Chains A and B, each alone.
Chain A
Amino acid sequence: MIINHPLLGPRDAQEFTYLGDATLIDRPDGMADAAPEAFHDYLHLRDNPAGTHRELWYHEGGDRSWLVVTRDTRTHEITRVDLARDVALQRGRGA
Chain B
Amino acid sequence: MRYSALRVFAEALRGQRGWRPAWRDPDPQPEYDTLIIGGGGHGLATAHYLASRYGGKRIAVLEKGWIGGGNVGRNTTIVRSNYLLDGNEPFYEYSLKLWEGLEQDLNYNAMVSQRGILNLYHSDAQRDAYIRRGNAMKLHGADAELLDAGAVRAMYPRLNFDNARFPVQGGLLQRRAGTVRHDAVAWGYARAADSRGVDILQNTEVTGLQIEQGRIKGVETTRGPIRAARVGVAVAGSTSRVMSMAGMRLPIESHVLQAFVSEGLKPLIDGVVTFGAGHFYVSQSDKGGLVFGGDIDGYNSYAQRGNLPVVEDVVEGGMAIMPAIGRARLLRMWGGIMDMSMDGSPIIDRTPVEGLYLNAGWCYGGFKATPASGMAFAHLLATGEPHETATAYRLDRFRRGLPIDEKGAGAQPNLH
Contacts and interface: CB of A to CB of B under 8 A. Distances in A.
A20 interface: yes
Contacts of B238: 50
B300 A48 contact: yes
B300 A13 contact: no
B53 interface: no
Given A46-B252, A50-B241, A50-B302, A13 B309 contact: yes
Contacts of A46: 240, 249-253
Interface of B: 238, 240-241, 244, 249-254, 298-303, 307, 309, 342, 398-399, 411-414
B19 to A, nearest CB: 39
Given A20-B413, A44-B399, 20 more contacts: A14-B309, A17-B298, A20-B300, A21-B253, A43-B398, A44-B251, A44-B342, A44-B411, A45-B249, A46-B249, A46-B250, A46-B252, A47-B240, A47-B249, A49-B240, A50-B254, A71-B299, A73-B301, A73-B302, A75-B303
- Which of the listed residues A12, A41, A73, A75 has the most CB atoms from chain B within 10 Å of its own CB? A73
A16 B307 CA distance: 14
Nearest to A50: B302
A50 B337 CA distance: 11
Contact of B301 (A12, A21, A47, A76): A76
A19 B412 CA distance: 8
B398 A40 contact: yes
5 contacts: A18-B298, A46-B252, A47-B244, A73-B254, A75-B303
A55 B298 CA distance: 12
Given A48-B240, A73-B300, A76-B301, A13 B307 contact: yes
Contact of B250 (A18, A45, A73): A45
